[in-house]
Amino acid sequence: MKQLQRVDIDEFKAHFHGQLVLPDHADYHEVRQIWNAMIDRQPSLIARCSTPQDIVQAVNFARDQDQLVSVRGGGHNIAGNAICDGGMMIDLSLMKSVEIDTENRRATVEPGCTLAEFDGPALAHGLATPLGINSTTGVAGLTLGGGFGWLSRKLGMTVDNLTAADVVLADGREVRASETENADLFWGLRGGGGNFGVVTRFEFQLHPVGPELLSGMFVFPFDQAKSVITQFARFTETAPEELSVWMVTRKAPPLPFLPENVHGEQVVVLPLCYLGDPAVGEELISPIRKFATPLGEHIGVMPFAAWQQAFDPLLTPGSRNYWKSHNFDQLSEGAIDALIEYAGTMPSPHCEIFIAAIGGQTNRIAPEAMAYSSRDAKYVLNVHGRWESAADDERCIAWAQEFFAKTKPFAGNGAYINFLTEDETDRIASAYGSTYNRLVEIKKKYDPSNLFRMNHNIKPA
């Protein structure tokens, strides 16, 4: 990587219409912060873009000056690849335009948008596309890694609903990618991460949703975990696709519907969302109340946009985070026993173990139809290590890694790329499975010098 000279920076600044933030800028340390506080890097310059042309200029400068380049959308990704040391961060977080075409049920979304900033305008028209579950997550990173959420069992992955993307390539060209234009690039963008260029605009298919849906959660005592999680596993195997029920085990936050003596105690939470008539949904979820005696429940019809923000207080920025993840085609007794064992030894009150039940429409797409290939995954497990102090790093990381190893014999194939941490480069090829070799060829074509390598990198050679 070339050492930047001030004259080069000044020349770039003179022609760059966005905001250039250098280490001596008053806002530098604020702008460089990302969600995961474990990642603390200092780029030589941050190019805050406002238009696609700003992105073109930033890419050209980074390439011509032989700079390590990272690309930030929402800055939420666990691996922290949004920021680099010593190089150039292309910051897209100011690009937040959302346009809703109600007639054609299409949304065009700029890469700085968060889920809340997309959900709000779309749901105002009773429309949505499958996204994640934390409203501060960036749309760009979520989409490029696959994307799933409460609507996915019925409507598919986020990438299944991407219809086109405008992209700045490593050579500075602006191209459109869709099924009919640069189709190989479009194939790679749908799950291949930020390996092939900088997306300046996403186009999504929208679906009629709500805007109010039956949603909420049941909270069960941890001493009934084996019964509850086993019944959860069997229930979700046959639940209709309109119903999503997930599992979280953690220390109970001070939720108002829980008795005070439960606050801070280990619990099993079954959050849910039903995409349909609430009365039908109520009948469908009634068996869950018999899994054990609930400590409390909060179920009702609420705006889906509000439900998408329900877990935000548990995922605020500024904490230290380390995740490990597996895909499962079923939840065996061995996997459940390991989960309960490690849930009982969580090293921080902020840690949790989370299982998303997906399947349904996410399983109907052929594995080779796009870069995201984990089409046999019916459950995605995330071991969510989260804590406050660097002094606890070793202990908390070890807990997550040990649980990951204990459950590996029961896991399925592939991995959800958005949940991989920065130290899991050895899992990239296996995460993509059957699509990896084709991704390498697309990388050779669109980014042969590997300019875009601050990601779960697919090397062009």
Q: What is the CATH number of domain 212-419?
A: 3.40.462.20
Query: What's the CA angle centered on 166, arms 21 and 137, to 5 degrees?
Result: 60
- Tens of pLDDT, residue by residue over 93-111, are 999 999 999 999 999 999 9
Q: Would you tell me how many other CB atoms lie within 10 Å of the CB of residue 334? A: 12
Task: Collapse the DSSP code of 110 into the 3-class scheme (helix H, G, I; strand E, B; otherwise coil) and give the result.
Answer: coil
Tokens (6 digits) for 269: 């939470």
Tokens (6 digits) for 339: 């989960």
Same fold flag, 6-91 and 98-209+434-446: no
Task: Give the largest Cα separation in the chain, rounded.
Answer: 70
Identify the pLDDT of residue 2. Answer: 78
Are the C-beta atoms of residues 272 and 215 closer than 8 Å to each other?
yes
What is each CA distance from 200 to 46, 140, 213, in whole angstroms? 17, 9, 32
- Global pTM exceeds 0.85: yes
Element (H, E) at 142: helix 139-144
At residue 380 the predicted structure's pLDDT band, cuts being 50, 70 and 90, is very high
Q: What is the CATH number of domain 98-209+434-446?
A: 3.30.465.10
Among candidates 459, 361, 353, 368, which has minimal Cα distance to 414? 368
Element (H, E) at 84: none
Q: Could you identify the residue written with the tokens 């696609």?
A: 52
Beta pairing partners, 380: 327, 356
Beta pairing partners, 395: none
- How many residues comprise the chain? 461
- Tens of pLDDT, residue by residue over 32-60, are 999 999 999 999 999 999 999 999 999 99
* pLDDT of residue 63 exceeding 80: yes
Fold entry, domain 6-91: 3.30.43
Identify the pLDDT of residue 115. Answer: 97
* pLDDT of residue 458 exceeding 90: yes
Identify the pLDDT of residue 252. Answer: 96
Domain limits, the chain: 6-91, 98-209+434-446, 212-419
Average pLDDT over residues 107-127: 97
> What's the burial of 1, exposed, middle or buried (CB within 10 Å: 0-12/13-18/19+)?
middle
- Specify the DSSP class assigned to residue 85: S
Identify the pLDDT of residue 4. Answer: 83
- Specify the DSSP class assigned to residue 224: G
Identify the pLDDT of residue 5. Answer: 82
Tokens (6 digits) for 453: 């390598």
* pLDDT of residue 455 exceeding 90: yes
* pLDDT of residue 1 exceeding 90: no
Phi, psi (rounded to 5 degrees) for 454: -85, 80
Are the C-beta atoms of residues 86 and 4 closer than 8 Å to each other?
no
- Tens of pLDDT, residue by residue over 299-341, are 999 999 999 999 999 999 999 999 999 999 999 999 999 999 9
Q: What percent of the chain has pLDDT over 90?
A: 95
Work out the mean pLDDT of the chain and round it to a whole number.
96
- Tens of pLDDT, residue by residue over 236-291, are 999 999 999 999 999 999 999 999 999 999 999 999 999 999 999 999 999 999 99
